[in-house]
Amino acid sequence: MSFLDFLSDLLNPNFAFLPRALLIAIASSVICGLVGTHVVLRGLSFVGDALSHAVFPGIAIAFALHGPILLGGGIAGILVAVLISVFSYNRRIREDSIIGIFFAAAFALGLVIVAKTPGYTGSLESLLFGSLTGVTNTDLLASLLACALIGLVLTVFHERIVLVSVDRDYAQSKGLSVLGIDLILHVAIAAAVVISVQTIGNVLVLALLITPAASARLLTDRVFTMMLLAPLLGSLAAFLGIWSSWSFDIPSGAAIVLTSALLFILLWLFAPQRGLLTSRFVDIRRRHTERSLPA
């Protein structure tokens, strides 16, 4: 399918779900890019992975009770985020161990609920791998509102989050509540995961948190600039991924993740100054210039 055909389908009333899917994918990419910047800089990939699975029991309970799936996932994700922050605060047990405990427990609870809930198979597949057709106007509105709220919170607490990430002891000596900042960041990660589950799927949501932010890291050393670039790169991957998904009839989540990974590889090779090939080209050119200078 050509690009113009895809744009035509976006405007076709018979495919009303398609622009909704695209908008929620871009919204998910924006918020995951903002949150993912802190995830990458603080090395919290395991937290993102844990929270992406922690929403599973909440989703399962919401399905069993015929309630809002995003609400159920949100409550479960925030609960696990609070537990991780509280139990890892005193550093007596390493944070990765705490995360592993609650990550496994939450996912196991979800499996038990699924096993006891009849008729769950079809919905489970869409939640694990994403679904273009499953996005409703309510989902889109809730996602946009949540994105705006999370973006506002990250903006207000930006300097404090960065300070805690750089030096926890110094931040505590300045009177900052390290536990409170950790809790804010973990809840933001959980919220970003829940927003993204509908389009990208529970299994692949970690990629949306990590890959665009890692790609942005190849382009800049500044946190603020990285927080601008990561959502842009994620949105580009979402647009191209939805186009690929619609054109080749492949899962939307997988298409977005593969597109994002391709962008990362291209930047890893060709990013100005930091790209593998561009940096080698600069070194070769510099050596050639030095050799050509008169002795």
Tens digits of residue pLDDT in 68-79: 777 787 788 888
- 192: tokens are 């970003």
| Structural domain that includes position 128 | 3-292
pLDDT above 90: percentage of residues in the chain: 19
Tens digits of residue pLDDT in 14-26: 888 888 888 888 9
Task: Rounding to the nearest 10 degrees, give the CA dihedral for residues 90, 227, 190, 185.
Answer: 20
Query: Is the pLDDT at 36 greater than 80, yes or no?
Result: yes
Query: Is the pLDDT at 63 greater than 60, yes or no?
Result: yes
Query: Is the pLDDT at 207 greater than 60, yes or no?
Result: yes
Higher pLDDT, 273 or 264: 264
- 137: tokens are 């106007």
pLDDT at 49: 77
pLDDT at 252: 80
CATH of the domain at 46: 1.10.3470.10
Sign of CA dihedral 276, 280, 286, 290: positive
Structural domains of the chain, count: 1
Which of 14-18, 142-146, 286-290 is predicted least confidently? 286-290
pLDDT at 133: 64
The model's pTM: 0.83
pLDDT at 9: 84
Average pLDDT for the chain: 82
Cα separation, 161 vs 155, whole angstroms: 10
Q: Other CB atoms closer than 10 Å to residue 145's CB: what's the count?
A: 12
Residue 128: pLDDT band by 50, 70, 90 thresholds?
low
Which has the closest alpha carbon to 233: 247, 222, 217, 244? Answer: 217
Higher pLDDT, 265 or 60: 265
Which has the closest alpha carbon to 21: 126, 162, 148? Answer: 126
Cα separation, 278 vs 261, whole angstroms: 19
Mean pLDDT, to the nearest integer, of 154-178?
87
Cα separation, 260 vs 171, whole angstroms: 34
Alpha helices by DSSP H, listed for the chain, are: 3-10, 17-42, 45-64, 69-87, 95-115, 121-129, 137-156, 158-166, 168-173, 178-200, 205-217, 223-248, 252-270, 276-292
Mean pLDDT, to the nearest integer, of 254-264?
92
Cα separation, 153 vs 213, whole angstroms: 19
Cα separation, 125 vs 88, whole angstroms: 33
Sign of CA dihedral 94, 100, 102, 103: positive
